[in-house]
């Protein structure tokens, strides 16, 4: 493949690192975005040494309102063209809406909705002008239903999925595509950061490797939606969730979000 440059947010996390390695293995250059300069520097060194690709790092906190502008300004200064935008960074958090703090929920809205929306606002026009580009937005199968005990997280993913699908349609004749990855529960740092590792839903989280591979390939193919990381029995169930009685499905979700007794 030609030297395509992929900008990957949340690059040092479990799923993010998988995207980084997949792209580097194919010979692609990287823009690694994350909060920890130390982790980014180590990942940059690893990719450059192992795969002999160019890797640029941008340290930024997605809870800052102007995080997207900071990223874009760094790209402009370095004269870097983004061919693939992988909006992978995400923030979860278990607890009722009333018990979670204002800061927790505003930060989640910024990380899951505001910053990735701004990044697309800034980068998509350049892709459309060139007539080529791929966007992969990491959403969740949670986008399909309301989610008691993670009410705002489910809502942010519903927004992100709806926006992404509409953009896929709007851009269908431009040479640019927007793909939405909708995985199930995965065994990554996301669960740890959100206090979700002891919930029923994340007790048997799947490896992020296959999820990343399926999502990356779907992005290259220009698909609109891809479900990944779901056991065989879950795939048809997830597809039916929006058609199930809302109160019934919310009771099921609330039970899955509860902390398991040890």
Q: Judge whether 16 lies within some domain.
A: yes
Distance of CA 134 to the CA centre of its chain: 14
Calculate the dihedral angle through the C-alpha atoms of 141, 144, 150, 156, rounding to the nearest 10 degrees: 90
Q: Judge whether 100 lies within some domain.
A: yes
120: confidence class by pLDDT, cuts 50, 70, 90: very high
The predicted-structure confidence for 157-185, as pLDDT tens digits, reads as follows 999 999 999 999 999 999 999 999 999 87
Q: Judge whether 19 lies within some domain.
A: yes
Model-level pTM? 0.85
Confirm if 6 and 31 have CB atoms less than 8 A apart: yes
Q: Give the Cα separation of 249 and 147 in Å (integer).
A: 9
Q: Which comes out higher in pLDDT, residue 54 or 257?
A: 54
CATH of the domain at 70: 3.40.50.720
Domain that holds residue 138: 5-257
Q: How many domains does the chain have?
A: 1
Residue 123 has pLDDT above 90, yes or no: yes
Residue 112 has pLDDT above 50, yes or no: yes
238: confidence class by pLDDT, cuts 50, 70, 90: low
Cα angle for residues 129, 29, 127 (degrees, 5° grid)? 10
Mean pLDDT of the chain: 88
Q: Judge whether 262 lies within some domain.
A: no
Residue 4 has pLDDT above 70, yes or no: yes
């Amino acid at each position: 493949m030609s030297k395509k440059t992929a900008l990957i947010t949340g690059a040092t996390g479990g799923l993010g690192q998988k995207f980084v390695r997949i792209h580097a293995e194919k010979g692609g250059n990287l823009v690694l975005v994350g909060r920890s300069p130390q982790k980014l520097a180590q990942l940059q060194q690893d990719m450059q040494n192992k795969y002999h690709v160019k890797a640029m790092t941008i340290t930024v906190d997605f809870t800052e309102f102007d995080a997207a502008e900071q990223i874009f300004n760094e790209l402009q200064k370095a004269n870097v063209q983004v061919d693939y935008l992988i909006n992978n960074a995400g923030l979860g958090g278990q607890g009722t809406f009333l018990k979670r703090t204002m800061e927790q929920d505003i930060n989640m809205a910024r990380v899951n909705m505001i910053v990735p929306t701004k990044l697309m606002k800034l980068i998509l026009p350049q892709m459309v002008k060139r007539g080529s580009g791929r966007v992969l937005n990491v959403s969740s199968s949670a986008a399909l239903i309301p989610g008691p005990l993670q009410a705002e997280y489910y809502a942010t993913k519903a927004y992100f999925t709806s926006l992404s699908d509409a953009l896929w349609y709007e851009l269908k004749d431009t040479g640019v595509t927007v793909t939405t990855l909708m995985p199930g529960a995965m065994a990554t740092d996301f669960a740890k950061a959100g206090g979700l590792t002891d919930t029923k839903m994340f007790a048997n989280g799947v490896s992020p490797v296959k999820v990343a591979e399926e999502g990356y390939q779907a992005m290259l193919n220009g698909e609109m939606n891809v479900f990944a990381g779901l056991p065989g029995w879950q795939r048809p169930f997830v597809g039916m969730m929006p058609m199930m009685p809302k109160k019934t499905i919310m009771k099921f979700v609330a039970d899955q979000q509860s902390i398991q007794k040890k």
